[in-house]
Amino acid sequence: MKKPLARSRSRTGSTAAPALADKPTSARLLPNRPMDKSDDVSTLQSALVNEAEQQVKTPELLADPADAVKPSPVQNNRLHATYIGLGLERDKDKEKLVHLDFSFTLEAEHDGHLPAKVKHAWDYLRESGDKAVQVQGIPAVTLDVYDEPKVKKPLLHLVGAEFSKAIVSIIEEVGKGKAVKKTRFAFRLLVERDEDVIQFAAWNDGEEFWITMPMTQASMAAGA
């Protein structure tokens, strides 16, 4: 064990630290010891920085995150979408309904998987200077919601879901110091309220799913 530094006692009984002025600055650095006024601050800081740089090595990145392959937003004919949340409504006959809000960014892969009116609104925004289009009159769809793109059984199967609201808009996403313009499709589907729908709708807001929504002949007489 390293012996403690010897200390000399004065006639009054106080303990004085040994004189170290003749030693280099680095030798006078002790844990929790205030810096002497005679210390050369700039020299000391440079020495500490150089020592830290020698001890800490920056690990090499295995791959640049910017070069990572982005998963396709359409897989197995299913669209990757975010479920936003729910709202409770009633139709003109006071029947209890619930609306489900979804959203996803439109990519080239979505072509051929969207309702015709949504595709027309998307094309219009690409050619015009407008920033948003509200799409009306979209036929009712059969909505299937999956937690994976290849699982067989849907978490939710809703026939005759009606679009009570649908908007295609240009948005700006800020990342890594620059803004990128993207086109987003946000929509609201109105369905009958039952236990399975409420169970899904109430506990999965903000989660991502895979959906299909082909046009269906069934329709609801909802006063959206």
Comparing C-alpha atoms, which of 201, 190, 134, 191 is closest to residue 163? 190
Give 188's strand partners. 101, 165
Per-residue pLDDT of the chain (224 residues; tens, 9 = 90+): 554 544 444 444 444 445 544 555 444 445 555 555 445 555 655 655 565 555 545 455 555 554 456 789 999 999 999 999 999 999 999 999 999 999 999 999 999 999 999 999 999 999 998 999 999 999 999 999 999 999 999 999 999 999 999 999 999 887 667 888 899 999 999 999 999 999 999 999 999 999 999 998 644 444 33
Query: Which pair of tokens denotes residue 92?
Result: 């003109």
Longest CA pairwise span in the chain (Å) = 105
Task: Assess contact for 162 and 220: CB atoms under 8 A.
Answer: yes
Could you give the angle at the alpha carbon of 75 between the alpha carbons of 71 and 80, nearest 5°? 70
Q: Which helix (H) or strand (E) holds 78?
A: strand 78-90
Cα 144 to chain center, whole Å? Answer: 24
Q: Which positions ≥6 away from 174 have C-beta within 8 Å?
A: 180
Give 104's strand partners. 185
Q: Distance of CA 121 to CAs 81, 133, 192, Å?
A: 19, 6, 28
Task: Assess contact for 161 and 190: CB atoms under 8 A.
Answer: yes
Query: Which pair of tokens denotes residue 38?
Result: 């005679």
Amino acid at 121: A
Task: Assess contact for 2 and 30: CB atoms under 8 A.
Answer: no
Instruction: Give the CA dihedral 147, 148, 149, 154, nearest 10 degrees.
Output: -50
* Cβ atoms < 10 Å from Cβ of 62: 5
Comparing C-alpha atoms, which of 21, 22, 26 is closest to residue 46? 26
